[in-house]
Amino acid sequence: MLSKGLLFQYSTDRIKGQLLDWSKRLKIIKGLVEGLVYLHKHSMLHIVHRDLKPNNILLECDMTPKISDFGSAQTLCSDVTEERTSRVVGTSGYIAPEYASRAVYSLKTDVFSFGILVLETISGRKNTILDKRGDTVGDLVRDAWCLWKDRRLHELVDPSLGNRYEVAEITRCAQVALLCAQEDPADRPTMTDVAAMLSSESMRLPMEPKQPAVLSEGSAGEDTYMSQSSRTVDITITSSATVLTRVRIIVDPEV
């Protein structure tokens, strides 16, 4: 199937973003959930991607998402394992706080990045980290939490969607995204939990997202970018398959 492009070409572009109605955006969100559940649980390797961002999400012509670029990926010995690295890689706005500050990563690192991707898909905005003010989660997360708390989530929605969306679906997706983007990884759900929460409208969400920490006084810092030169691993994640086929994963060990 031919590629439609990368998610970043649509998620914050005012013109291309109009091509993504709410049903397509919801399909992308649920497709990413299925892919991450496979990586974290069903692959039996407990793969953590560590650099989830719109640039690494390929969209097929039917808007089925595929997770790509596994050059920073690592495997864990269990789904609750935390590892420390001497080489932090990732992109400001998507990188989990504990990974950015303490170089500690786990499956919950991907959960945080997923939460940011969902908020961007809903809002058409980028998440900016205000480094010089001690920011750990980003302005989009803070704004989304305030709007959710005040029951004004309609103000978060990408204007290009107009009124063509289900309020209940937007609200549930945004609340789940905020749970995923919690500062403490212990407060974040697993991707299996996320799949359950998004698959049933009648399921009561188990908790409410905590308020992000208050920013310190000072000027906003510039975005930072941390990356490395790495190979892309051949892997395909599709939202229609429960089991991957013809997958080749080659992950370089940490040094």
CATH number of the domain residue 173 falls in: 1.10.510.10
Tell me, yes or no, whether 231 lies in a domain. Answer: no
> Cα separation of 112 and 132, whole Å?
21
Q: How far apart are CA 134 and CA 75, in angstroms?
A: 30
State the Cα–Cα distance between residues 176 and 118, nearest whole angstrom: 9
Q: Which of the 8 DSSP states describes residue 38?
A: I
Total structural domains within the chain: 1
pLDDT band at 250 (very low <50, low <70, confident <90, very high): very low
Confidence label for 235 from pLDDT (cuts 50, 70 and 90): very low
Residue 99 within any structural domain of the chain: yes
Q: Quick check: is 247 in a domain? A: no
The whole-number average pLDDT for the span 195-217 is: 86
Percent of the chain with pLDDT over 70: 78
In which domain, by residue range, is 215 found?
Answer: 3-226
Do the beta carbons of residue 75 and residue 81 sit within 8 Å?
A: no
- pLDDT score, position 6: 56
**Among all residues, which ones are annotated catalytic?**
51
Judge if pTM exceeds 0.85: no
